[in-house]
Amino acid sequence: MIKPEAAETLPTDTLTVIYGNGSKWYGEAPDSIDTLIAVMTENTLDLELQMDNDRFCELLDDDPVGAEYYPGTGWHGFLGNFEELSHNFHISTRDPALIARLKAAIDANLARCSKRGT
């Protein structure tokens, strides 16, 4: 379960919050979503970090703990890293287009890796 420090960490006036994207020093700005998707096309996701119910993504208000923090909001959380590259990501979004884009990139990564036998 991706849990924020407090419920108010998710603003009501935005669709996406990037808690972290890329291996950065404290205080550095996270990488863009486009950079994450580019990294996904070249590197294998670390399957040890995938979430139980929907690979590297979960509907946050659908989870018993998530419902406490994200009640009926439609927020999705994306969390993971890569096998041979340290580029962790932790993103919460309720943007339907971004949810679809990230899920498609994750699915393509997993399909490509399964064809290679990794």
Using alpha carbons, select from 69, 45, 68 the residue that is nearest to residue 57: 45
Rg (CA), the chain: 14
Q: 94 or 68, which is more confident?
A: 94
Position 66 pLDDT exceeds 60: no
- For residue 53, the model assigns a pLDDT of 46
Question: What does the block give as tokens for 20?
Answer: 């972290």
| Residue 112 one-letter amino acid | R
Question: pTM (2 decimals)?
Answer: 0.75
Report the C-alpha gap between 56 and 117 in whole angstroms: 19
Q: What is the pLDDT of residues 7-50, one digit of tens each?
A: 445 556 678 888 888 877 777 888 899 999 999 999 988 887 66
- For residue 7, the model assigns a pLDDT of 44
Lowest model confidence (mean pLDDT) among 36-40, 66-70, 73-77, 79-83 = 66-70
